[in-house]
Structure 1
Amino acid sequence: MNRLKNATSPYLLQHADNPVDWWEWGEAAFAEARRRDVPILLSVGYAACHWCHVMAHESFEDEATARLMNDLFVNIKVDREERPDVDAVYMEATQAMTGQGGWPMTVFATPDGEPFYCGTYFPRQQFRALLMAVARAWREEREDVLKQGRKVVEALTARGPAPGETEPPSPERLSAAVRSLAASYDTAYGGFGGAPKFPPSMVLEFLLRHYARTQDAQALAMATGTLEAMARGGIYDQLGGGFARYSVDEAWVVPHFEKMLYDNALLARVYAHWWRLTGSPLAKRIALETCEWMLRDLRTPQGGLASALDADSEGQEGKYYVWTPEQLRRVLGEADGNAAAELLGVTESGTFEHGTSVLRLPGDPGDQEWWSRVRARLLAARAERVPPARDDKVVTAWNGLAIAALAECGALLGRPDLVGAAEEIARLLREVHLRDGRLTRTSRDGVPGANAGVLEDYADFAEGLLALHAVTGDPAHVRLAGTLLETVLTHFPDDRGGFYDTADDAERLFRRPQDPTDNATPSGQFAAAGALLSYAALTGSSRHRQAAASALAAATLLAGRHARFAGWGLAVAEALVSGPLEIAIVGDPADARTRALHGAALASPAPGAVITVGTGEAAGDVPLLRGRTPVDGAPAAYVCRNFTCRLPVTTPADLMAELAGG
C-alpha cells in the first residue's frame, strides 16, 4: 500500500500513485522493517530534480521493479527540502562510501537506520540487479552487512573538530582567501573551477565586501566577471528573469533548468550589492528582474514564496525555455525573428538538444525600445506553452533569504512594493511557521508542516528580519530576531563554539548532523554567525557577538584551500573585521530629512553595516537608538562602532563622508 497520498510534500505526492509501497519517514516504517526482518530502502530527492523524475519513470513506475522493492525492502521516500537533517546524514554516508553525492540518493540501511550501501541514480536494469544483490547479502551475509554499516556509522560519528584555528578569520586570512579563489578563477568565463558551474553567490558576497573594505581590485574583478557572465548567459532566463540551478558547461550557456528560490534570493541580493558598489545598470536590471520573477512565479496565495520550478515540462527538460530560429520567426516575423536569433544566440544547429537553443544576451541591444517589444512578445508566446510544475511548499530558511533580498532590493532600487512583499513573507512565517518560539521547516497552503525547523531556518529568518528592520525601522523585527537567536543559542550549540544543524530536542538520527561548509545555501553555522553579529551590533550584546566570532572559526580553517565552501563565513568575517559599522538614524521616519539620511545609510557598501531608524520610542528593542537625539530639532545620523559613536551629522552628504571614512 502506497502511503504517500496524504503527504504534504509535493515531491512525495509525485510518487503517491507509484506501485511501490512507499512509507513516509517515521518510526512506523522502521518498526515494519524490524517486523519483516528486511532492510530499509531510502530514496531521497526533491520535486524539481530532473534525474529524480527519470529514476521514478524508469523504476518506481515500473510494476516489475516495484514488486522487487516491495518484496525485499521497506521503502521510504524523503523530500530532502522538508528533511534536510535526514538528507545531510545520509548524503555524508553516500559521499564517504562513493566519493560523490547527488539526487536522487539511494540508500540501503538496517532496520535501525544505519546505512550499509549508498548510491545515487541507477538505471532500471542496474537498479533491479542491485535490489537482488542487496537482498541476497542481507539474507546470506548478514554479519558482514551489519559490520559494514557499523564501520560507516563509527567513522562518521568519530569525526571530531578539525585541529587548528579557534579564532575568526583575521584580515590576513581574508586576503589569503581572495588569493585562494584567484587560483581557481576562470578568467575566460568567470566563476570558479570547471563544468558544471553553480552560481557562487556566497563567494561573490565575500568578494564584494572585501573590495569595499580593502579596495582590492582583484576581488572586484572576479566578482564582476562572474556576475556579468552569469547575467548574460543561458543560466539566466533572458525573457522572464531568474536563474537556473547551474550551468552544465563552463561558459554558462546551457543550464540545468530547474529554478530554485534560494539561488534567486541570494543572487538578487548580490546583484543589488554589486549595483550599490559600482552603479552597474546591468546589476540593477538583473536584481529587479530576479525579484519580479520570484514574486510573479513563486508567490503563493498566503504571501510566501514557493520553493522551486521544475526543470521539465511535458516530460522534457528545458522545453519551456528553448527556441529554434523558426519559432522566433513565427512569433516575431521574418525580420525581427532573424534579428532576435542573432542577438540571442539561437542557431539552426542549436546550442541545446534537438536543434533548440537556450537564449543568451551577450551584449545590450542597441535599440532598447525594440528589444522591450520583442521580449514582451516572446514572453507572451512562451506563456502559452505548458509551464514547468511548481513545488509550492514554503521553506522557512529560503523565505528568510528572500525577505532580505526583497527588502534590500526594494529600498536600494526604489521599489517599495518589494519591501511590502518582504513584510508579507515575514508575516506568514511569523503567523504560520512559528509556535512558542519554535519554527516548523515548511508550510503548504497556509498549513504548517510536521517537521521541525533546523539551524538554517532560524538563522536565515533572523537574517531576513534584521535586513527588513534596517529598511523599515520596525522594532518588532528585532524582537522576533532576538527570539529566534535565543533558540539558536539554547538548543543548537556544540561544545566547541559552533552549532549543530538540528536542535538538541530534535529527532535522533544515527548521527547528529553538523556541516559548517556552504553548499547551495549558506551553512547554518555561518548564517547564524551573520545574524548573531548583526543582532549584537543593534543591541550591544557581547554574548551574541562572542557566539558569532566563535562560529566563524570554521571559516578560518577553510579560508586557505577551501575558500569556495566558506563564502558566507568569510563575508560575515569581513563585517566582524569592519566592526561592523552601526548607523543610527534618529528622527521621524515620515520626515523627508530622516528618509534622506536613511537612504544615504542604506547606500553604504560598508561590510555588514547595521542600520536602524526611528525615535527614542524604539530604544527598548533597539538599544543602538538609546540616548541618541536629534540635533537642534533636525533628524541626525550617528555612525558608531562597538556602540561608540562619532559626532552626529544632519545631512546626507556629511553622513556619506563619515561612512566613507570608515
Structure 2
Amino acid sequence: MLKTYISNLSPDYKNFKVTHKHTNALIKETSPYLLQHAHNPVNWEAWHPDVLERAKKEDKLLLISIGYAACHWCHVMEKECFEDEQVAKVMNEHFINIKIDREERPDVDQIYMDAIQMISGQGGWPLNIVALPDGRPFWGATYVRKENWTRTLNQLAELYKKDKPKVTQYAKDLANGLHAINLVEKDIGSDLYSMEQLEAAVEHWSQYFDTFLGGHKRAPKFMMPNNWDFLLHYATTNSKPKIMEFVDTTLTRMAFGGVYDHVGGGFSRYAVDTKWHVPHFEKMLYDNGQLTSLYAKAYAATKNELYKNVVVETIGFVQEELLDESGGFYSSLDADSLDKNGELQEGAYYVWTKAELIDLLGDGFEVFQDYFNINSYGHWEGENYVLIRDKSDEEIAQKHKLTVTELRSQLKENLRLLKKERETRPKPRLDDKILTSWNGLMLKGLVDAHRYLGDGQYLDLALTNATFIEREMITQDFSLYRNHKEGNSSINGFLDDYATVIDAYFSLYEVTFDMKWLNLAKKLLDYTREHFWDKESGMFFYTSDKDQSLIRRTIEVDDNVISSSNSIMAINLYKFHKLYPDGTYGKTAKQMLRNVQKDFDRRAQGFSNWLHLVLYLNRNFYEIAIVGNDHRAMGQKISKEYVPNSILVGSQKDGDIALLKNRALPGKTLVYLCLEGACKLPVTSVQEVLEQLHPHKH
C-alpha cells in the first residue's frame, strides 16, 4: 500500500529531499514511532546492550522515554520538549537518552511501568524514566510540561553527582521491589479450581456489570474482549440466561457506540464515557483482531445479524487500512489527524458537524439524525458529533414508516456518501510496523470469521497471513521474531508472540485439517518449553533465555485488554495434550492454573482467559475426530456450531494423531465424538453429532 502510494507520486516529488538540522541514531531504526524522533535535537539512541555498556563506561545516567505511534500525549511532549533546542541541551549534557517503542519492546516497558507505579502510584504513556547506567530506575513520570521537565532533569543530574550512594541505594531497593511484585509461587498441593468456586467468582464479578449500557460500571470503558469471550463460553455451556443477556447487551452497545466506526468499520481503543460514545480515536490491530473473533463466536451462538455485520465491516477496515502487500498486518492508525485548519486534532478524521451532514445527505438527513443521534445524545464538543445508535432498526423503521429493508438500504447509501467524503480528509498517521503477536490475534480473528460465517475469502486472507508469519517471522530453529518492516526483523520474539501464533495456527489446523499448521504450532510450543520455561515457578517467562534480562525476567499472568501470554500458553498446552496425551502438556497446564487460581475469587475479570481452562477441566471437553473423503466438508459444517469446549481433528484416512488412528472405513466419512480419548460409536451426519453433543436440545 505504502509502496503503491509512493510510486504514484510525481518524479519531482520523489527526487525532492528534505534537509534536517538534526539527525540522531534513531534514523537507523524501522519503527515509525522511533523514526518520528529521528530529527529531534535530542541525541536519542535505541534500546541496545551496547548503549547500556557505554552508559556504564561513561558513568552517565540513562533517560528512557517510552511511547507508541498512536499515543496523543507522546506527540504533545515531543513537540513541547524533545523538539526544543534548550531542553535537548540539558538532556544531551547530563544523560544518555533512549527512545523505546513500547509495542516493539513490551519486555522493557513492563518493567519500567511497574517501576513508575511503585514510585508514583500511577502510570501511562509517555513513560519517562531516569535510571542508573545499568538500567535500574530511580525516578519516573508520564507527561511533563517543558519548564518542569528541564528543572527536574537538572535536579536529578545534580543529585547523582552529589549523592550517588543515596541514589544507588534507592535504585537497589526499587529493583528488589520489582522482583518481589513479580514472584509467582508454585502451588503443588491445592485442588484445581472447582465449578462451585467459579460460579461464586462470577457472581462476585457480576456486581460490576453495567446491565443497561454493557461493560463494567465505570469510565473509561475498554472493550476487554477476553471478559465477554469467557462469559459467552460460560453462559452457553452452563445455561446462564442472565449472563448471556448481559453479554448481548455489551456486544450490542459496543457495536452501537461511537467506539465502533459506523462509516469505515473497526473499533477504536476505548470510550471515555459510560455509553461507549466518545472514543480515544486510535485504532489498534490487537483490538480489531480479538473483537473479530468475539463477534464471530457471538454470531454463531445467537445468529444475531448485527454481530455478523460487525465482523464483515471490521475485516473490511483491516483489509483496507492495515494489510501490507506481503500478507502481514500493520499495527495501528493514530488518533490525531489534520483538521480543516491544518492543525493536528484528535478524532478530526472521524467526526461530523450537523451542517456537513445536512449538506451531504439532503433529504436523507432526517432519518439519519434519528438513527445516529445527531442531537444532544450524540454531541461531542464544539459543533462536532460522534455517531452513536441507541435504537434497533425495527424501532427507527416503524417511526419513519419504512420497512427495515428500505431503512437499511437508505442508511447504506448515506454511509457510502460519508465514507467518500471522509476519504478527502487528511488520514490519521499509520504505524506500519508488523508485530508477530498482534498478527497472531488477527489471524485467529480471520480463522474464526471463516469458521462461523463460512466465508472462503476470510480463509484465503488467513492463509496469506499464516504463510507470511511462517516465511518472515519463524527462523530455522523455530524461534520467532517480534517485529518486521520492509523485509527487516530485528527483535527476538517474546512469549506473547509464540502464544498467539500457536493458538492461531492450531485454530487454522481445525478449519483446514492441514497438518502443516499443527506441526508448526507444535514446534513453536516445544521451543517455548525449552527457552521460556521457569521450573521454579511452574510458569513461562516473558523473555527467552537467549536475551539479556533487565532487572528481572517478567512472568505475565494478568489478563488485560490482551490475554496474558501465560494464560494463552496454558490453553495451548491443554489442547495439545488432547492430541498428544503421552507428554507433559496437560500436567503443565494444570500446574500453571494452580499457580494463579488463588486470585480468581476476588478478581475473576482480571483472569478471564484462565477461566476457560477451569471450564474445560470441570465440564466435558470434546475431541471431535472426522475421517473419510469428505472430512473437510463435514468439518466445516460441524465447526460452524459454537462449541467452545471442543477441538476438531480430521483426515482423509487414518492419521498420525492418536485420535485419528484406526478410525477409517472405506467409502465412508465418519465422525467420532470423544471424551479423554474414549470415543462414542461413529456417526455420519452433522445432526447426529449435535445430538451427541447436546442431547437435551434435540
Return the TM-score normalized by structure 2: 0.90
Which one of 634, 648, 657 corresponds to residue 682 of structure 2?
Answer: 648
* Range moving further from structure 2, 432-441 or 221-230: 221-230
Cα distance in 1 for residues equivalent to 2:190 and 2:600:
13
Which one of 100, 106, 125 corresponds to residue 147 of structure 2?
Answer: 125
Superposed displacement of residue 264, structure 1: 0.9
Cα distance in 1 for residues equivalent to 2:506 and 2:377:
50
Letter in 2 for 1:222: F
1:516-535 correspondence to structure 2 within 5 Å = 516-535=557-576
Structure 2 CA distance for partners of 1:423 and 1:252, relative to 1, 3 Å: same
Cα distance in 1 for residues equivalent to 2:453 and 2:193:
32
Q: How many residues align?
A: 653
Superposed displacement of residue 350, structure 1: 6.6
1:130-529 correspondence to structure 2 within 5 Å = 130-159=152-181, 160-161=183-184, 166=190, 168-314=192-338, 315-333=344-362, 335-347=363-375, 351-365=379-393, 366=397, 367-435=407-475, 436-447=477-488, 449-494=489-534, 495-529=536-570
SS of residue matched to 1:320: coil
1:548 matched residue in structure 2 = 589
Cα distance in 1 for residues equivalent to 2:595 and 2:366:
53
Letter in 2 for 1:324: T
1:573 matched residue in structure 2 = 614
Superposed displacement of residue 326, structure 1: 0.8
Cα distance in 1 for residues equivalent to 2:278 and 2:76:
19
- 5+ long unaligned stretches in structure 2: 1-22, 339-343, 398-406
Superposed displacement of residue 346, structure 1: 2.5
Does residue 598 of structure 1 match 2:631? Answer: no
**Residues 600 and 655 of structure 1 are in contact (CA less than 8 Å); yes or no, is this contact kept in structure 2?**
no
Superposed displacement of residue 541, structure 1: 4.2
* Range moving further from structure 2, 201-210 or 55-64: 55-64
Cα distance in 2 for residues equivalent to 1:437 and 1:136:
48
2:648 matched residue in structure 1 = 611
Structure 2 CA distance for partners of 1:541 and 1:235, relative to 1, 3 Å: farther
* Range moving further from structure 2, 596-605 or 392-401: 596-605
**Residues 22 and 76 of structure 1 are in contact (CA less than 8 Å); yes or no, is this contact kept in structure 2?**
yes
Letter in 2 for 1:565: G
Letter in 1 for 2:336: D
Cα distance in 1 for residues equivalent to 2:194 and 2:637:
29
Superposed displacement of residue 576, structure 1: 3.3
**Residues 538 and 610 of structure 1 are in contact (CA less than 8 Å); yes or no, is this contact kept in structure 2?**
no
**Residues 265 and 405 of structure 1 are in contact (CA less than 8 Å); yes or no, is this contact kept in structure 2?**
yes
Task: Encode CA deviations 1:572-592: one digit per residue, 9 max, x unaligned.
Answer: 33233334211111122xx4x
Which one of 32, 54, 64 corresponds to residue 10 of structure 1?
Answer: 32
Superposed displacement of residue 349, structure 1: 9.9
Structure 2 CA distance for partners of 1:349 and 1:458, relative to 1, 3 Å: closer
Task: Encode CA deviations 1:573-626: one digit per residue, 9 max, x unaligned.
Answer: 3233334211111122xx4xx455323421333334111222236x22x33222
Which one of 650, 659, 664 corresponds to residue 629 of structure 1?
Answer: 664
Letter in 2 for 1:196: P
Superposed displacement of residue 307, structure 1: 1.0
2:691 matched residue in structure 1 = 657
Cα distance in 1 for residues equivalent to 2:694 and 2:196:
22
Cα distance in 1 for residues equivalent to 2:617 and 2:348:
46
SS of residue matched to 2:104: coil
1:52 matched residue in structure 2 = 74
Cα distance in 1 for residues equivalent to 2:472 and 2:597:
37
Superposed displacement of residue 249, structure 1: 0.9
Superposed displacement of residue 336, structure 1: 1.5
Cα distance in 2 for residues equivalent to 1:403 and 1:19:
40
Superposed displacement of residue 446, structure 1: 3.1
Cα distance in 2 for residues equivalent to 1:284 and 1:323:
26
Superposed displacement of residue 166, structure 1: 4.9
Letter in 1 for 2:158: R
Cα distance in 2 for residues equivalent to 1:246 and 1:517:
19
Structure 2 CA distance for partners of 1:115 and 1:309, relative to 1, 3 Å: same
**Residues 351 and 384 of structure 2 are in contact (CA less than 8 Å); yes or no, is this contact kept in structure 1?**
yes
1:63-74 correspondence to structure 2 within 5 Å = 63-74=85-96
**Residues 538 and 595 of structure 2 are in contact (CA less than 8 Å); yes or no, is this contact kept in structure 1?**
no
Cα distance in 2 for residues equivalent to 1:46 and 1:541:
44
Cα distance in 2 for residues equivalent to 1:295 and 1:578:
38
2:400 matched residue in structure 1 = none
Does residue 116 of structure 1 match 2:149? Answer: no
SS of residue matched to 2:384: coil
Cα distance in 2 for residues equivalent to 1:623 and 1:15:
54
Structure 2 CA distance for partners of 1:659 and 1:597, relative to 1, 3 Å: farther
**Residues 33 and 68 of structure 2 are in contact (CA less than 8 Å); yes or no, is this contact kept in structure 1?**
yes
**Residues 246 and 256 of structure 1 are in contact (CA less than 8 Å); yes or no, is this contact kept in structure 2?**
yes
Letter in 2 for 1:202: N
* Range moving further from structure 2, 105-114 or 635-644: 635-644
SS of residue matched to 2:45: strand
Task: Encode CA deviations 1:539-589: one digit per residue, 9 max, x unaligned.
Answer: 33441111222222244223211112111111233233334211111122x
SS of residue matched to 1:438: coil
Superposed displacement of residue 97, structure 1: 1.4
SS of residue matched to 1:16: coil
Does residue 38 of structure 1 match 2:60? Answer: yes
* Range moving further from structure 2, 25-34 or 415-424: 25-34
SS of residue matched to 1:439: coil
Identity %: 35
SS of residue matched to 2:199: helix
**Residues 349 and 356 of structure 1 are in contact (CA less than 8 Å); yes or no, is this contact kept in structure 2?**
no
Cα distance in 2 for residues equivalent to 1:73 and 1:584:
61
2:628 matched residue in structure 1 = 587
Letter in 1 for 2:439: N
2:15 matched residue in structure 1 = none
Task: Encode CA deviations 1:55-81: one digit per residue, 9 max, x unaligned.
Answer: 111111122211111112111001111
- 5+ long unaligned stretches in structure 1: none
Cα distance in 2 for residues equivalent to 1:338 and 1:249:
26
Cα distance in 1 for residues equivalent to 2:662 and 2:318:
40
Superposed displacement of residue 10, structure 1: 1.0
Task: Encode CA deviations 1:411-453: one digit per residue, 9 max, x unaligned.
Answer: 2112111111111111111111111210010111232x21110
**Residues 235 and 244 of structure 2 are in contact (CA less than 8 Å); yes or no, is this contact kept in structure 1?**
yes
Superposed displacement of residue 134, structure 1: 1.3
**Residues 438 and 453 of structure 1 are in contact (CA less than 8 Å); yes or no, is this contact kept in structure 2?**
yes
